[in-house]
Each structure stands twice: as C-alpha cells, then as structure tokens.
Amino acid sequence: MKEPRRIAIGSGSSGSVAWIGTGLLAEAGRYLESPSGRFLLVSSRGARVPAERIRDVLAGRVLTSLEIDDREEAKTLETVSKIADAAIAAGVRRDDAFVAVGGGVVSDVAGFAAAILLRGIPWNAVPTTTGAMADAAIGGKTGVDHPAGKNLLGAFHPPRAILVDPGAAATLPDRDFRAGLVEAFKGAWIADASLAREAEEAIDRLLRREEGPLLSLLAGAIAVKAAVVTADLREEGNRRVLNFGHTLGHAFEAAGGYRALRHGEAVAWGIAAALDLSQRRARLPERDASRVRHVLNSLGPFPEPVRDPAALEGYLSRDKKGNARGTAGVLLEAIGRARVIEAIPIAEWLEAAARVRLQEP
Amino acid sequence: MKEPRRIAIGSGSSGSVAWIGTGLLAEAGRYLESPSGRFLLVSSRGARVPAERIRDVLAGRVLTSLEIDDREEAKTLETVSKIADAAIAAGVRRDDAFVAVGGGVVSDVAGFAAAILLRGIPWNAVPTTTGAMADAAIGGKTGVDHPAGKNLLGAFHPPRAILVDPGAAATLPDRDFRAGLVEAFKGAWIADASLAREAEEAIDRLLRREEGPLLSLLAGAIAVKAAVVTADLREEGNRRVLNFGHTLGHAFEAAGGYRALRHGEAVAWGIAAALDLSQRRARLPERDASRVRHVLNSLGPFPEPVRDPAALEGYLSRDKKGNARGTAGVLLEAIGRARVIEAIPIAEWLEAAARVRLQEP
C-alpha cells in the first residue's frame, strides 16, 4: 500500500488525525488508537463488510461488537443508551476506545456515546459512506436528533483517528454515493477554488468511482474542514462556513421526516437555495452559481423537497445558529470564498426555499 | 446585605464563579448569568421555596420552569430528555441559560442537560442542600446514573455562576443537612488543616446551623475544591484527591440501591474505611484518624452500610478510576494532606469495607 495521506485536525487532547488512502482498512491496527489497546466496535448493518474486516484485523483486542440501526429515526438518546449498556456490560474502562464503522449516523451516535460514557472515552471513526468520509467524523461534532430537529442533543468530542479508505464505500448504493459527494463538493466550494475546478472537471470519473479523483476530492474536502475546524474548534466564529447549504438543508430534511431525502440531497437543495441568496446578498457571479448548479445536477437528480413555508418555518426558527432577529446564513461570494451573514430574517430563507429549482426542464 | 465572597473556579470559557453569602437569593438577578438575559429554571419539589424566590427575582426573564424528581432513581437519561423536551418546546436558544435550583441530583441532571442541549448552553447552579453547596456544582462534573453505577454517563460542563446562600437550605431536613456537611468536612480534611480544626471546634454550632461557622466551612470547602479543580480541570491528575471517601462511598451507595444511604452518609462510611487504609498505607497518625472519626460520629449516627464483599465488588471494579490492576484510592497522610495511590487491589478495598465501624458501642 502507498503511504496514506495524513491530515491533523485540532491539537492536543481535542485533536484528531485523519488518514486517507486506498487499502487502509487492512492496516487499521496501525492507525486506530486506544490507550488500553482494547476496542469496542459499533457498526451498522450496511457496513458489515468493513466492520468484519476491522474485527479481523484487531483480532483479540475487541471487547465487544454492536450493530446499531443507522436510519435517521434511530439517531436517538435511546440508541446512545443501548451502546452505553453494551459497553458497560462488556466492562468498558476509561482507557478503552470505540470504533465507529459506518455512515454519519453511526459516527454521530457512537461518538456521542463515547462523549458521555464515563464522562468521555476515546473513539475512532471509520466512515463507510462518501458523506461521512468528507464530513461527518471530522470536527468533533457528535449527537442525536430530537423530534423538534436534528442534532439538538450532542457534544463536541473529536475522534482520535479517522480512517478514510474509499474501498470501505465499495458496496454503497449509487444514490448514497452521489448524495455524499455533495458534502465533498461543499468543502471545495466554500474554501478551495482549485479543488472545485479539478473535481468539476473530473465529475464523470467521480461518478464512475475512479480511485484517483475520489481520493483527491475527499482529501481536499477533509483538508478544508480540518483547516476551518482547527481555527475554530468550538464553533464560535468562522467554523460556521461549513454550514453552507445546511440551514435550509436541515429544514428540508426534517420537513421530509428524514425519509424523503438523504442528508446530502437535502444539503444539495439547501446549497441551491443559498446560491440565490448569495447572488442577491453577496454578489456571487452568475457564472459561479451556474457552475455549482451544474455539478448538483450531475450528482442528481434528487427527489423534490418540501417547499411549503408553513412546514419549514418551525425548523428554521429552532436552528441552533438562530437568535431573535433571524438565523445566520453562509453565502458564497465566489466559488472558493464563503461568508457568514448574521441574522438573515426567516422570511428571506422561506422565500429562497419556495423558489429553489434544480434540473431546469 | 454584606458583599458576598467571590471564588473563581477554572478560567476562560470553562470558568465558573461561586458567590457565597447570606441573603444572596434575593439578589440572584445580579449574579446569575445568561448571554441572552433569558433563563430556564429546573428545580425539585424540595426546593420549591428558593425556586419561587428566584422566579420572582428574575420576573419576566424566565422562559420556562420545570420541576423534576430529585431522587437518585430519577437521575437518568430519561429525565435529561424531559428537560430537553421542555426547553425545546419553550424555544430555547444557544444564548439562553439554565438555572438549577436544588440538591446535587438537580445540578447533575440539569447541568448535563445544559451540556448536551444544542451541544452545550450556559447554566447556573443554586444549590439548596449543604452537600450541593460544598461540592456538587463546583468543578463542572454533570451526569446521570446507569443501572451499573453512579454517574456513568455525563460531561464536564461547569456552570457560569454558583450562588451559595445558606438560607436556601433553611428548610432542609436535619438528616440531609448533616449528611451534606460530610462533603464540606471532606474538603477541609484533604487540603486545609486549619479549616478542619476550626470547623471541628465549631461542630455544635454547625449542627445548630449557625450562620457564621456555616459560611466559613462552606466557603473554605469551596475554596479547596476550586483550587484543586482549577489546577486539573479534566481529572487527569490531582483532581482525584476530591474523591476521598468516594470510591467505597459510591459502592456503599449503589449496594444500598441509592435508598438506604444519603450520598453524604455513604461518603462518611467511605471516609471511615479510607482512614483504615490510610493508616496502613500512608502512615496517617492515629490521632488524626480519631479526630476525623469523632467528627463523623458527631454528624451521624448514619444507617449501617452493606459490607458484603460480593455486593460491593462489582461496583468497585467498574469504578471510573479503575484499570486492570485495581482502583486508585485517595488516602490521607495527615489531616489537610491527601495523596492518590494508584491501583489499590479490589481485595484490599473489600477488606476495609468489611471492617469499617463508626460509633463504637
């Protein structure tokens, strides 16, 4: 195997290291971290193959393995409680570490369980979807949903190591593969114009899952997120640029009951709506907006979102970045350059949502 | 009102300020902190009077009030979930703050809810028991119990402000008042010989709830905890001295199903057992051991603990400070000087538990 690429995120006790390379799973024993040398595996049904692989590689060092439901509906405090039960029953100690093998739901839930078990034990992430590889495990956000909205309960608790092996996504259904790439492109669009250009030009090869362009895009997106997150670990400032497309994205996702749209698909619609706001409020040139739309159309077509303001309003006004005057939004000034605008009135978001279109007939 | 005493704990975004003084409740509006100016009150039935007082003082700034069950049995993830539900239903935002009014269970649970709601919102503690005044809200530990042991799920999330007004404990039953003083004395015993001497000499006045000695002991215990915690926020080293009496204390408490003994009573037994270990392993002089025993006897008599090794062993081996070789213990070298001994074998703990006696006939 070629030496994997190494990207450091944060520093000290809240630091993570992301390792990116093809064939990494087979070397997981070298990269996963546990102070005691013992691991607890949490995975999903869809990630059985890579999870088995990791279990084999770690051989006798796995204290227990647990398969959890990774649908958004199961991203609850109850699932966290189940993970804690299994870990405690297995005799977990503070120096043992979790390994979350799966998509974003698995790393969010298992990472949150690690955050609160014994007031925090180490964990590692092995993302098996393109979305999770580009986004979910990086930056330390963990959490579960509440009927009123996504990720309303959670903690900042970065994994020690993140192993990104595109091979782990080999059996990912095409719809999930494409939806996940939205998150990867998002990283390029907010902060890396040349990565955006390069990935745009490689869009057909990406959709064919060619290893070279896939590794480049994922590593580039991780590098963007790592740089932003390292500068702003606790989300008090610029970290919010990562939320590009997510303000309405979360509302679209919630309004569809977390079933109608994949997370990445909801974010694609959120990005499309944010382009509109960006052109009016941040002077995003039309040619940049249309390049982004073109990529989204290539990754789609995506199921239509709920556009009804009455259905979206509640979710928007409960946004964690909101205050009494509105909800902060991330707009593009150009491809590769994002800006946070404070307190955009809810009415303006709803208008953009009502108007949003992709795939013009 | 006399100016209250101010003790800073930690620093920066993980810092708390404790205010200590008689009559502080009436001035709560000056000391409780909320970035938005809005508060969410969480209290217990037993703390209704001080909670009403706070609500009156904060007048129109209280978003919602919630009364929770504060028995140890209710210190669960479900109660946290209920608090989160109420807060979200009331439209909580990241810049609002909780106020926990009650004993240790209320601050542990409400503080933990604050830790995970929207990945962390600010909170304040208004302890209404002597135990919580001396201990619970200081240092940022929050959490809930698991059937397998106390505080197995939780987070470090220090309150912004802690208001200690002995008047808030005016209606506290005598048994709880006395049990809480065990935690206050513990602070003196591990780190402040002159505070220990002074409080020992004032024991009768303390038991009569005289304001002067009570304020001195509480402020002294808070100052000890603040100093230890500030030096070691994340419990990686010396902070563990605060656990004096708690290793067996937690086991006694759990073995009694959290009903037979108050927390402070279980800690009293844990301290008594630790005296024995301290004499053998840390050369604690007999005259110091007997002074500590004398105070514990004055605060008691306490109900007898479960001493059966078979009942205690499981709890000890699951202790958060444990590893494969045993469980770390805090021993006294002298009154006012504690030391952490790593990996004391479980068998030795069980022996000390089996032998422990107070109130010799």
Distance in angstroms (rounded) separating the CA atoms of residues A122 and B137: 25
Residue A317 has a pLDDT of 76
Are the Cβ atoms of B146 and A320 closer than 8 angstroms? no
Distance in angstroms (rounded) separating the CA atoms of residues A23 and A1: 7
CA B185 remoteness from chain centre:
12
Nearest to B94 among A117, A320, A324 (CB): A320
Number of H helices, E strands in chain A: 14, 12
Q: Give the pLDDT confidence of B216-233 residue by residue, as tens digits.
A: 999 999 999 999 988 876
Residue B291's φ and ψ, nearest 5 degrees, are: -65, -45
Contacts of B155 in chain A (CB under 8 A): 115-116, 119-120, 155
Nearest to A116 among B141, B153, B318 (CB): B153
Best B38, B79, B108, B119 residue to mutate vs chain A (most A CBs within 10 Å): B119
In the chain, the amino acid numbered B179 is A
Q: What percent of chain A has pLDDT over 90?
A: 79
Q: Work out how many CB contacts closer than 8 A connect A with B.
A: 85
Give catalytic residues of A, as residue numbers: 119, 141, 183, 225, 235, 239, 243, 246, 250, 263
Residue A355 has pLDDT above 70, yes or no: yes
Distance in angstroms (rounded) separating the CA atoms of residues A113 and A106: 10
Distance in angstroms (rounded) separating the CA atoms of residues B237 and A355: 57
Residue A319 has pLDDT above 80, yes or no: no
Mean per-residue pLDDT, A104-109? 95
State both tokens at B88.
């979200």
Length of chain A: 361
Residue A149 has a pLDDT of 75
| Min Cα separation B177/chain A (Å) | 28
Residue A361 has pLDDT above 50, yes or no: no
Contacts of B94 in chain A (CB under 8 A): 320-321
Are the Cβ atoms of A95 and B323 closer than 8 angstroms? yes
| Min Cα separation B322/chain A (Å) | 7
A120 touches chain B (CB under 8 A): yes
Out of A152-161, A289-298, B13-22, B285-294, pick the least confident.
B13-22
Q: Tokens 């702003």 label which residue? A: A232
Are the Cβ atoms of B119 and A155 closer than 8 angstroms? yes
| Min Cα separation A298/chain B (Å) | 34
The H or E element spanning position B325 is none
State both tokens at B141.
């530990």
B95 touches chain A (CB under 8 A): yes
- Where does residue A1 rank: exposed (0-12), middle (13-18), buried (19+ CB within 10 A)? exposed
Q: What percent of chain A has pLDDT over 70?
A: 95
Distance in angstroms (rounded) separating the CA atoms of residues B119 and B94: 9
Residue B361 has pLDDT above 50, yes or no: no
B152 touches chain A (CB under 8 A): yes
* ipTM (interface predicted TM): 0.84
Are the Cβ atoms of A146 and B88 closer than 8 angstroms? yes
| Count of beta carbons in the 10 Å neighbourhood of residue B10 | 19
Contacts of B151 in chain A (CB under 8 A): 119
Nearest-by-CA chain A residue for B94: A320
| Min Cα separation A92/chain B (Å) | 8
Confirm whether pTM is higher than 0.90.
no
Q: Tokens 């009559």 label which residue? A: B23
Residue B320 has a pLDDT of 62
Peptide bond into B50 cis (omega under 30): no
Give catalytic residues of B, as residue numbers: 119, 141, 183, 225, 235, 239, 243, 246, 250, 263
Are the Cβ atoms of B154 and A91 closer than 8 angstroms? no
Residue A7 has pLDDT above 60, yes or no: yes
Are the Cβ atoms of A88 and B148 closer than 8 angstroms? yes
Distance in angstroms (rounded) separating the CA atoms of residues B22 and B20: 7
Burial string for B235-251 (b: 16+ CB within 10 Å, else e) reads beeebbbbbbbbbbbbb
| Count of beta carbons in the 10 Å neighbourhood of residue A221 | 28
Q: Give the pLDDT confidence of A22-38 residue by residue, as tens digits.
A: 999 999 999 999 999 99
Contacts of B141 in chain A (CB under 8 A): 119
A325 touches chain B (CB under 8 A): no
Residue B324 has a pLDDT of 63
Residue A110 has a pLDDT of 97
Nearest to B119 among A36, A84, A141 (CB): A141
Residue A321 has pLDDT above 70, yes or no: no
B139 — pLDDT class (breaks 50, 70, 90): confident
The answer to whether the beta carbons of residues B209 and B177 sit under 8 Å apart is: yes
Distance in angstroms (rounded) separating the CA atoms of residues B160 and A150: 27
| Min Cα separation A154/chain B (Å) | 5
Mean per-residue pLDDT, B139-166? 91
Contacts of B146 in chain A (CB under 8 A): 84-85, 88
Q: Give the pLDDT confidence of B293-324 residue by residue, as tens digits.
A: 999 999 999 999 999 999 999 888 776 666 66
| Min Cα separation A339/chain B (Å) | 21
Q: What percent of chain B has pLDDT over 90?
A: 78
Mean per-residue pLDDT, A242-248? 94
Are the Cβ atoms of A119 and B154 closer than 8 angstroms? yes
Are the Cβ atoms of A94 and B320 closer than 8 angstroms? yes
Residue B56 has pLDDT above 90, yes or no: yes
B153 touches chain A (CB under 8 A): yes
Are the Cβ atoms of B152 and A117 closer than 8 angstroms? yes
The answer to whether the beta carbons of residues B102 and B47 sit under 8 Å apart is: yes
B12 touches chain A (CB under 8 A): no
Residue B347 has a pLDDT of 93
B151 — pLDDT class (breaks 50, 70, 90): confident
| Min Cα separation B93/chain A (Å) | 7
Contacts of A95 in chain B (CB under 8 A): 323
Out of A80-84, B9-13, B68-72, B263-267, pick the least confident.
B9-13
Selection from A227-236, A251-260, B112-121 with the highest mean pLDDT: B112-121
CA B165 remoteness from chain centre:
16
Could you tell me which of B159, B133, B182 has the C-alpha nearest to residue B9? Answer: B159
The answer to whether the beta carbons of residues A72 and A105 sit under 8 Å apart is: yes
State both tokens at A322.
């909101």
Residues paired with A39 in a beta bridge: A62, A97
Selection from A140-154, B266-280, B322-336 with the highest mean pLDDT: B266-280
Provide the sign of the torsion angle of the four alpha carbons A338, A341, A346, A352, taken in this order.
negative
Distance in angstroms (rounded) separating the CA atoms of residues A120 and A14: 12
Nearest-by-CA chain B residue for A156: B119
Distance in angstroms (rounded) separating the CA atoms of residues A172 and A180: 10
Q: Give the pLDDT confidence of B198-217 residue by residue, as tens digits.
A: 999 999 999 999 999 999 99
CA B211 remoteness from chain centre:
20
For chain A positions 264-293, those within 8 Å of chain B (CB to CB) are none
Mean pLDDT (chain B) is 92
Residue B235 has pLDDT above 70, yes or no: no
Q: Which residue has the higher pLDDT, B11 or B45?
A: B45
Distance in angstroms (rounded) separating the CA atoms of residues B346 and B317: 7
Mean pLDDT (chain A) is 92
Are the Cβ atoms of B118 and A320 closer than 8 angstroms? yes
Are the Cβ atoms of A153 and B116 closer than 8 angstroms? yes
Contacts of B119 in chain A (CB under 8 A): 141, 143, 151, 154-156, 235, 320
B141 touches chain A (CB under 8 A): yes
Distance in angstroms (rounded) separating the CA atoms of residues A20 and A164: 5
| Min Cα separation B81/chain A (Å) | 8
C-alpha triplet A137, A139, A143: angle, nearest 5°: 65
Return the SS3 of A4.
coil
Distance in angstroms (rounded) separating the CA atoms of residues A38 and B211: 52
B35 — pLDDT class (breaks 50, 70, 90): very high
Residue B70 has pLDDT above 80, yes or no: yes
Q: Cα torsion at B64, B65, B71, B76 (round to 10°)?
A: 0
Mean per-residue pLDDT, A321-349? 88
